[in-house]
Amino acid sequence: MTEPRWLDEREERAWRSLMVMQSGLFQYFERQLRAHSGLSAADYEVLAHLSEAPEGRMRSFALARVLRWEKGRLSQHLTRMQKRGLIRREPCPTDQRGAVVVITEPGRALIEKAAPLHVADIRKVLFDDATPAQLDLLTELGDQVKTRLAEIDQRTK
Amino acid sequence: MTEPRWLDEREERAWRSLMVMQSGLFQYFERQLRAHSGLSAADYEVLAHLSEAPEGRMRSFALARVLRWEKGRLSQHLTRMQKRGLIRREPCPTDQRGAVVVITEPGRALIEKAAPLHVADIRKVLFDDATPAQLDLLTELGDQVKTRLAEIDQRTK
């Protein structure tokens, strides 16, 4: 086996930064969401996608895809959110095995209250200091990563 | 209350990219680590920090700080890693309440086997396509976020 290509100094710094964002930033959002709205970041993501969908409804497989969650994880999470009255599940009229996930009125009220506070948090920690050039680079990086992950998904299918 | 400043299009794209990295990228690393080394990403982080520390030893509070984990989370995680023989805990000679966390020989063997594979995964999905400008951007962004989070921590103390 050849000697692995370890990260050089520049890559190492970039990697550490990504870890800070991964842990520090998202833990901060999680704490803030819980404190001001009683939602986890996962709850927030589910409600945000549903609230933007036509009539607040999405097929569960489509929801799993946009969230990039596995089916089992989504199903467990939806059960908990259903118990709290934030969403409900209905059978899909065109597919016996598929469910439709629907945001409830309390779910919609909660995300509408939480969203402005969440956006203010994102601005404060991330975007207030970011330049347009930084934002565009972040978008490029995300696109590159998405492309690579899609290629890998494809090859393992 | 004034109308919230929602994210504009450029910010929205950058935010979605960060979410892709947060979910897609780190889930990919998690799956790969489990497949090739039987480690979770959290196990890997703990072992990586310990293996780089002098004599493979760190005070548990120092480990919690570099990992940015809460004490309770670290303690639970270390208990599981100890049962698997990857680390051991020793009382701290200078502080009755503090513990010293030590990497075991099997723990070290495992991280040494996992590290080249993990780095190859990081290269493949992230760094092989990244330009130096993108790497520097990540570092800058991470530094900005770290500064903001530190300020917030300070204010809430």
DSSP secondary structure string for all residues of B41-69: HHHHHHHHHHHHSGGGEEEHHHHHHHHT-
Instruction: Note whether A4 contacts B: Cβ–Cβ < 8 A.
Output: yes
Rounded CA-CA distance B144/A122 in Å is 13
Per CB-CB distance under 8 Å, the chain B contacts of A140 are 17, 134
Contacts of B64 (CB under 8 A, 6+ apart): B70, B71, B74
Q: How confident is the model at residue B41 (pLDDT cuts 50, 70, 90)?
A: very high
The band of A1, judged by pLDDT with boundaries at 50, 70 and 90, is low
Please report residues of B whose CB lies closer than 8 A to that of A23.
67-69
- Taking only the tens place, the pLDDT of each residue in B101-135 is 999 999 999 999 999 999 999 999 999 989 998 99
Supply the pLDDT for residue B79: 97
Q: Which of B4, B10, B142 sits opposite A20 (nearest CB)?
A: B142
Task: Give the pLDDT mean for A58-67.
Answer: 92
Q: Which of B68, B133, B137 sits opposite A24 (nearest CB)?
A: B68
B22 close contact with A: CB closer than 8 A: yes
Say if CB B85 and CB B137 are below 8 A apart.
Answer: no
The ipTM of this complex is 0.83
* Average confidence score pLDDT of chain B: 91
| Contact call for residues A43 and A86 (beta carbons, < 8 A) | yes
What pTM value is reported for the model?
A: 0.83
Distance CA A138, CA B15 (A): 8
Q: Considering chain B, what percentage of its residues have pLDDT values greater than 70?
A: 98
B23: closest chain A residue by CA: A68
As a whole number, mean pLDDT of residues B68-95 equals: 92
